[in-house]
């Protein structure tokens, strides 16, 4: 009986495992079925859209071609009218001259016949008057009449090769592609933003520029967010935990038109945006509180982030913001106490991050770790400079052997140069504050 009970339990266990495997198998099949349905829907919808685009395009072409042909016909007819009028005008003038001469000759003939057959007493006077009048009219002077070979004979020259050229061009006009030449490849969450990467999937396509668009999933229209030659872009001003749709297209080398759009994909970020804290007298902030301007106030101190929003593994970027043409005023006068960096906690009363539990770079390029200057130095921070901080945890020591030391590997980059070092702390830090301090006004910094 015990063996039978054990065998029953084993069979029940195997049956339950088989049932669970069948459920999992069914779920996978249903998921694949949904995938097939989505693929079928995409093919059907894209085919319908492509038909509509083709029909609309060729209808537009036919309308445009008819308009152009009508305009050309009107132009040629006007040219015929102009030539006809300009050629007939001198003939009309010559006809009037000849008709006037005929009328004058008729009058002269009547006068001559009257003089010849008139009374004998008046014959000499009439004959004398007629002879003088005939000499004055110059009966041997006749107007020139052009021959038919000298006057215009209008005709139309219509080259039938136009139809051949149009036929060849029309038969080569337009293509149908089974997939766009570029596709979205990856979305990387950033604080208040998304790093979007894309790639070329058509080996024969040579891209010159890319065009990235996005929209909230609830919006009806896409908007441009990037046009350029790079294959990645950080889209800022993204609301956390909100879905956004992205699409990308490309323009071939030497061409003006854009390729078809990639398949739209959804991206989002769960990371809240980096923000400077408000209320520090020496700094003015933008509406989104991600840009800080050192104003003319005499008050000084460290401007910290609103919260410890930097996490290990992220990249924190400070960028000098340039506005207008006043590049020098926008940068401000450098000072050795200036600092851009990260710290474990906010500590009031300091005028720089060059202190304990902080790493920073000064505007002259000096790097400080826990208040001590390193021998390695980066280029000075100037107009348009970008400074990035990357950190990763490399060691968490035990309190008995290493005093609870927490080690972070820090990489600071500026102007295509970087320094790498280990930052040892006496406590584990899952997140850090960022901050800046400037002694003189004019500095304007964007953080993302």
If you classify domain 182-267 with CATH, what class do you get?
Answer: mainly beta
The pLDDT-based confidence of 62 (bands split at 50, 70, 90) is: very high
User: Would you say residue 398 has pLDDT above 70?
Assistant: no
Domain ranges of the chain: 14-172, 182-267, 283-447
**Which stretch of 196-200, 295-299, 368-372 has the lowest confidence by average pLDDT?**
295-299
Share of the chain above pLDDT 90, in %: 43
**Which stretch of 77-91, 292-306, 381-395, 408-422 has the lowest confidence by average pLDDT?**
381-395
Residue 152 pLDDT: 86
Higher pLDDT, 430 or 47: 47
Residues sharing a CB contact under 8 Å with residue 248, sequence separation 6 or more, in sequence order: 182, 183, 184, 196, 198, 210, 211, 212, 213, 261, 262
- In this structure, how many other beta carbons lie within 10 angstroms of the beta carbon of residue 391? 22
Mean pLDDT of 218-239: 92
Residue 119 pLDDT: 62
Write down the CATH number for the domain with range 283-447: 2.60.120.920
User: Would you say residue 399 has pLDDT above 50?
Assistant: no
Residue 366 pLDDT: 94
The pLDDT-based confidence of 331 (bands split at 50, 70, 90) is: low
Residue 210 pLDDT: 95
Residue 384 pLDDT: 79
**If we measure between CA atoms, which residue out of 293, 364, 289 comes closest to residue 329?**
293
pLDDT (tens digit, 9 = 90+) per residue, 234-270? Answer: 998 899 999 999 999 999 888 888 998 998 999 999 9
Residue 203 to residue 198: CA distance in whole angstroms: 14
Q: Is the pTM value of this prediction over 0.75?
A: no
Which of 148-162, 212-226, 397-411 shows the highest mean pLDDT?
212-226
Residue 422 to residue 397: CA distance in whole angstroms: 14
Q: Would you state the structure tokens that stand for residue 229, as one six-digit string?
A: 């030659």
Residues sharing a CB contact under 8 Å with residue 378, sequence separation 6 or more, in sequence order: 361, 365, 366, 367, 412, 413, 414, 415, 417, 418, 419
C-alpha gyration radius of the chain? 46
Residue 95 to residue 418: CA distance in whole angstroms: 96
Q: Would you state the structure tokens that stand for residue 376, as one six-digit string?
A: 């390695």
pLDDT (tens digit, 9 = 90+) per residue, 128-140? Answer: 777 777 777 766 6
| CA triple 406-408-411, angle to 5 deg | 165
User: Would you say residue 325 has pLDDT above 60?
Assistant: no
pLDDT (tens digit, 9 = 90+) per residue, 167-222? Answer: 888 888 888 888 899 999 999 998 889 999 999 998 888 999 999 999 998 888 99
Share of the chain above pLDDT 70, in %: 92
- What are the helix (H) ranges across 210-283? none
């Amino acid at each position: 009986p015990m063996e039978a009970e054990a065998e029953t339990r084993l069979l029940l266990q195997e049956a339950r495992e088989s049932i669970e495997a069948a459920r999992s198998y069914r779920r996978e099949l249903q998921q694949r079925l949904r995938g097939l349905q989505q693929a079928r829907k995409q093919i059907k919808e894209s085919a319908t859209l492509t038909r509509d685009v083709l029909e609309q395009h060729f209808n537009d072409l036919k309308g445009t071609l008819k308009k152009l042909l009508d305009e050309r016909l009107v132009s040629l007819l006007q040219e015929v009218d102009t030539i006809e009028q300009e050629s007939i005008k001198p003939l009309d003038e010559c006809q009037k001259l000849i008709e006037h001469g005929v009328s004058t000759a008729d009058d002269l003939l009547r006068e001559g016949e009257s003089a010849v057959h008139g009374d004998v007493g008046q014959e000499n006077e009439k004959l004398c008057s007629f002879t003088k009048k005939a000499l004055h009219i110059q009966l041997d002077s006749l107007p020139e009449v052009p021959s038919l070979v000298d006057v215009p004979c209008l005709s139309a020259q219509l080259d039938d090769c136009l139809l051949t050229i149009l036929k060849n061009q029309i038969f080569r006009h337009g293509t149908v592609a089974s997939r766009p030449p570029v596709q979205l490849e990856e979305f990387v969450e950033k604080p208040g933003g998304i790093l979007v990467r894309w790639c070329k999937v058509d080996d024969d396509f040579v891209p010159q520029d890319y065009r990235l668009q996005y929209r909230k999933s609830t919006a009806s229209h896409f908007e441009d967010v990037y046009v350029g030659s790079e294959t990645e872009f950080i889209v800022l001003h993204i609301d956390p935990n909100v879905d956004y749709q992205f699409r990308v297209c490309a323009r071939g080398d030497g061409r003006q038109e854009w390729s078809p759009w990639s398949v739209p994909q959804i991206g989002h970020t769960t990371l809240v945006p980096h923000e400077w804290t408000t209320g520090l007298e020496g700094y003015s902030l933008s509406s989104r509180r991600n840009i800080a301007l050192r104003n003319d106030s005499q008050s000084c101190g460290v401007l910290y982030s609103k919260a410890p929003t930097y996490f290990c593994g992220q990249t924190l970027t400070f960028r000098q913001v340039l506005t207008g043409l006043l590049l020098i005023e926008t940068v401000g006068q450098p000072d050795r106490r200036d600092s851009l960096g990260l710290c474990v906690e906010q500590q009031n009363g300091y005028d720089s991050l060059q202190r304990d539990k902080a790493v920073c770079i000064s505007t002259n390029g000096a790097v400080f770790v826990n208040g001590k200057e390193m021998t390695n130095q980066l280029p000075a921070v100037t107009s348009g400079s970008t400074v990035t901080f990357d950190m990763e945890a490399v060691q968490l020591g035990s309190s008995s052997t290493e005093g609870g030391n927490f080690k972070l590997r820090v990489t600071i980059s500026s102007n295509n140069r970087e320094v790498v070092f280990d930052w040892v702390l006496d406590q584990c830090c899952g997140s850090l504050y960022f901050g800046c301090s400037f002694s003189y006004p004019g500095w304007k910094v964007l953080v993302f």
